[in-house]
Amino acid sequence: MTGPVEEKIAEVAARSLPGLVGKLYRIETEGKDFLLNERGPAVIAVKHTHMMDFFASTYVFIKLLKRRTMIPLKKGLFRNDLVALILRELGGVPVIRPTDEGYSPSSYENVAMAREFIKVLKAGHLWAYCPEGTRARGKIGPNFYVQPIMLAAKRGVDTYVTGIEYKAPPQISLWTPFTTIIVRNEPYDARGKSELQIAAEVRQRMAVLSGIKQI
């Protein structure tokens, strides 16, 4: 159960968190035009190999781009009511992934998410998601993995791939303050490409932009 007090705490926490991340970490962005269309809708596939990726990208979306961004997150993160409020304030929306406890989303849930996705794009906001498979390799098929990019391309919406690189020695935790984090972004053209081609290209570009060999 939550009330006005919890809602206010969540609002303050969500408003403060991106700025705090910016102060604790050296976050840099690379790319002449981080978003080609600064006002229109866009779909961004963001590399995800560590939870810190979420906070780094949230800082970029909220503090630098100042854009309303919806970020699908696994439903399990929303179990705690206060945490759920904070995540929602940051733009998080709960989704059930095919690998979550062996559960397969129903057609109704898939349609509901697709409707939410289209509503976000029609409102001119950003949809930033972490393609599944970047942390659970080989467990999720490319049709789930590339669906947002393909839907966006069919509607003429800009699509991007984002990589996140951490400039820290291997033995240092990525949570360590003052670590340099480089967020790189580039446009991606999915028109006329198959699901398998998009999946392979997006994973390869995320790896390159993140300064690693493979995702």
Is residue 33 assigned to a domain? yes
pLDDT, tens digit, 9 for 90 and up, residues 72-87:
888 888 999 999 999 9
Query: What are the backbone dihedrals phi and psi of residue 10, each rounded to the nearest 5 degrees, phi first?
Result: -65, -40
Domain tally for the chain? 1
Is residue 120 assigned to a domain? yes
Is residue 40 assigned to a domain? yes
Report residue 175's pLDDT band, with 50, 70 and 90 as the boundaries.
Answer: confident
Is residue 215 assigned to a domain? no
Neighbouring-strand partners of residue 183: 29, 164
* Burial environment of residue 149 by CB neighbours within 10 A (0 to 12, 13 to 18, 19 or more): buried
CA atoms of 203 and 215, how far apart (whole Å): 6
- pTM here is 0.84
Nearest to 134 by CA among 199, 77, 69, 58: 199
The per-residue b/e assignment along 177-205, b for 16 or more CB within 10 angstroms, e otherwise, is eebebbbbbbebebeebebeebbebbbeb
Tokens matching residue 155: 């509607």
pLDDT, tens digit, 9 for 90 and up, residues 80-114:
999 999 999 999 888 776 555 555 555 556 667 77
CA-to-CA dists, residue 23 to 20, 68, 195, 210, angstroms: 5, 21, 39, 22
Is residue 214 assigned to a domain? no
Which range of residues forms the domain containing residue 8?
Answer: 4-209
Q: What is the pLDDT of residue 123?
A: 92
Instruction: Give the CATH number for residue 62.
Output: 3.40.1130.10
Q: What is the pLDDT of residue 215?
A: 67
Contact indicator for 125, 41 with CB cutoff of 8 Å: yes
Query: What are the backbone dihedrals phi and psi of residue 73, each rounded to the nearest 5 degrees, phi first?
Result: -130, 150
